[in-house]
Structure 1
Amino acid sequence: MTAHTSDIEKETLASGPPRKAIIGPVAANVAFVMELTLVPLLLPAIQLHFDLSISKLAWVFNSYGIAVAVGVLLGGWCGDAFSTRKVFGYGVAFFAAGSLIVAAADSFEMLIAGRILQGLGGGIFAPLVPLLLTRALPQKPGRALIVWGSISGYLAAFAPLFYGSFLGGDGWKTAFIFIAIIAAIALLVLSGSPSSKDPAPYTGRPADYSALFQARDLWMTFLYVFCTYGSITYYLFRLPVWLSENEVEAASIGFVLSIMWLTFSCLSTLLRNMVDSPHLGAIMFAAPLLIVAGFPLLYLGDNFLLLIASSVLVGSGLACSNAPSTQLILRFAPKGMSAVSTSLDITFARFGGIAAVALLAETEFAYAAVAMGLSCLAAAVCALAANKGLADEG
């Protein structure tokens, strides 16, 4: 009888409440991704509404990014030192409150205050999303991360199209309110999930950060993230600029970018059963090869089909690097430092993009192509090294 009851309890935990433990973080990430994809489209309306100069509009954009960078480090440290779920909850609450302040802002100062609070909250909870997902589904952590990544990709593709079709003008306020509502729903779902409690706290020695710096395979994976995301970010920056210079209409540019995000989402879904298998290393190795193959097609002519092929290749590379690299980082993270490791994952991805765009923004294509080739080559070498570390660990 006891064994039978235990089996029922296990089945309940496996099929019922863990779904809420997954839905909560994913919903919060939905709000985070909507901010990422929608705000560039909202900036012109915000500028018109507040009659802002270009320099002030830049602060509207950059204040959020700076706050995210601070929040990521804070969230990573607090996520390991305190209750991961509580820290995550505070981050989501700050993000939702900041979004509402932005929507209600009647002055530039109030707008900036809202963006800072929003960015701080997003930075705090973002690195904890993969941690909560893998804890909610420990038997198939890669599958949970793939679901997370694919949903993000679908939103990245369709959110701008939805805004352009149904909102506009003062619709930017509605967009921020909608973001706040989704964040609030995520908080309610996660707090109502009894199965999503933190695991027993780590009872070993206090976190030894020297172990973090000595984790060679972890840092090879960070370098992999820096190179792959740097290349992808440069692609996302250069593609609209290059197409605009060639008098391609904005609708067509948006369509090409949507194809990239849709490819990322669809392939992420197809890979959901492979990232927990020995194929993980091969998937990560394929990512930089796919990315670097997409760059030449971008410049081979005005053939629209080549542009689509280019976006498909880069989107495929993003799918092969996103969840797999995060899973590997969690596996290589020293005990008691999982949240710090995922926060560094985000930091390296952001710095990779910043470096690539800053160094190559005005560079001729031939030089940029060489730089991207070298970056992807370095990422491929890192993937091989990380895969060897994974084999040695096994």
Structure 2
Amino acid sequence: MEITLVPLLLPEIQRQFDLSVGNLAWVFNAYGLAVAVGVLLGGLCGDLFNTRKIFGYGVVFFAAGSLVVAAAESFEVLIIGRALQGFGGGIFSPLVPLLLTRASPEKPGRMLIVWGSIAGYVAAFAPLFYGGFLGEHGWNLAFVLTAIIAFFAFVILNRTQTADELAPDSNRKANYLTLFQARDLWVTFVYVFCTYGSITYYLFRLPVWLSSNEVTAASVGLVLSIVWLTFSGFSTLLRNMVDKPHVRMIMLAAPFLIAAGFPLSYFNENLFLLVLSSFLVGSGLACSNAPSTQLILRFAPKGMSAISTSLDITFARLGGIATVAILAETEFAYATPAIFLACMIAACCALVACRGLANGP
């Protein structure tokens, strides 16, 4: 919901606080910056302490930040709330794939992609729900709803008990040195940086472009929903392929799909091309999401799974932050070749990382 609702709300937030596009980018990026910090803490603590408790702390920060954003009456308070949200989301985010793959060690890729599919369907219908039912009540209500859902997540968390206490690793220093020496792992991080940077910029800029052409919030929500419905649909189709050699082809397809879909968003008055653009970008997201996480868990040194998934999210967020910050006020004619270059770098990284997978044990 965070990923899909906030881009939909940006034009309304911009009007209420009278923000420039540059300031609006900080509303978007404050969350990502805080996530980049929180995931490192969450990953480190997830390897050292009780995973469930650390997850719960993250949910509490996220809910508190959502309420601060909902009550914000100034740009500064809005940024503080977004940072609290991001810090909490950063703490619990890296622990989700770790817990899921522990639950299904024989088919980790399938489990990750099923999780991604479910999350994608929620992400797809959230803006439709807001645009159709809540849009008339103001953007603040969306953050209140997010806080309520986080509260229920916390209740569910505390009603389900599992033995997931992890013992400290006596070879922690050696493991960290091994982490920095894992070449294929860092190549995959660069892949994540480039693909997620391109997708994040698309999700940030498209609603602003559409609203400038007086497109309604409900219509913008529909376009964003197509991205996530496509992501979920493709993820469902790929669920039986990600644990097989097809992962190389899937990862390589992602940057080409994104590069093909981004230029079509320029023709935002043509409904067919706009839908096709959303379809291609959503497909690219599906092809990059679970496979890259699967490779990162595969390349992670022993005992370093949580910190590796933390770095995965950090690179994804930093990619989005850097791309949005650099291209926020850039004309479309200059943004397009920049996105194309990022996608080509990602394609090269996919080839190198998958070669490392083929040469692995």
Structure 1 residues 324 and 366: alpha-carbon distance in aligned structure 2, compared to 1, 3 A threshold: same
Which residue number corresponds to residue 155 of structure 1? 122
Residues 10-66 of structure 1: per-residue CA shift (max 9 Å, x gap): xxxxxxxxxxxxxxxxxxxxxxxx233324445677788xx7553898876555444
Matched, 1:329 2:276: no
Which residue number corresponds to residue 201 of structure 1? 167
Alignment of 1:115-134 (within 5 A): 115-134=82-101
Which residue number corresponds to residue 90 of structure 1? 57
Which residue number corresponds to residue 54 of structure 1? 19
**Offset at 1:286?**
1.0
Alignment of 1:36-75 (within 5 A): 36-42=3-9, 52=17, 54=19, 63-75=30-42
Q: Which amino acid aligns with 2:187?
A: M
TM-score by length of 2: 0.86
Matched, 1:388 2:332: no
Q: Distance in 1 between matches of 2:263 and 2:67?
A: 43
Structure 1 residues 242 and 42: alpha-carbon distance in aligned structure 2, compared to 1, 3 A threshold: closer
Residues 45-103 of structure 1: per-residue CA shift (max 9 Å, x gap): 7788xx75538988765554443332122112211222222211211122234434555
Asked whether the 8 Å contact 2:179–2:301 carries over to 1, the reply is yes
Structure 1 residues 106 and 297: alpha-carbon distance in aligned structure 2, compared to 1, 3 A threshold: closer
SS in 1 for 2:239: helix
Q: Which amino acid aligns with 2:357?
A: L
Structure 1 residues 393 and 70: alpha-carbon distance in aligned structure 2, compared to 1, 3 A threshold: same
Asked whether the 8 Å contact 1:207–1:335 carries over to 2, the reply is no
SS in 1 for 2:335: helix
Asked whether the 8 Å contact 1:45–1:170 carries over to 2, the reply is no
**Offset at 1:142?**
1.3
SS in 2 for 1:277: coil
Structure with the greater alpha carbon radius of gyration: 1
Moved more, 239-248 or 313-322: 239-248
**Offset at 1:247?**
6.0
Q: Distance in 2 between matches of 1:293 and 1:107?
A: 39
**Offset at 1:200?**
5.2
Matched, 1:292 2:259: yes
TM-score by length of 1: 0.79
**Offset at 1:137?**
1.8
SS in 1 for 2:148: helix
Alignment of 1:329-368 (within 5 A): 329-368=296-335
Instruction: Work out which structure has the larger RCO, using CA pairs closer than 8 Å and 6 or more positions apart in sequence.
Output: 2
Structure 1 residues 355 and 165: alpha-carbon distance in aligned structure 2, compared to 1, 3 A threshold: same
SS in 1 for 2:167: coil
Which residue number corresponds to residue 3 of structure 1? none
Matched, 1:318 2:288: no
Q: Distance in 1 between matches of 2:68 and 2:217?
A: 31
Matched, 1:77 2:57: no
Q: Which amino acid aligns with 1:88?
A: F
Q: Distance in 2 between matches of 1:237 and 1:101?
A: 22
Which ranges of structure 1 fall in alignment gaps of 5 or more residues? 1-33
Q: Distance in 2 between matches of 1:73 and 1:212?
A: 14
**Alpha-carbon RMSD:** 3.1
Structure 1 residues 218 and 147: alpha-carbon distance in aligned structure 2, compared to 1, 3 A threshold: same
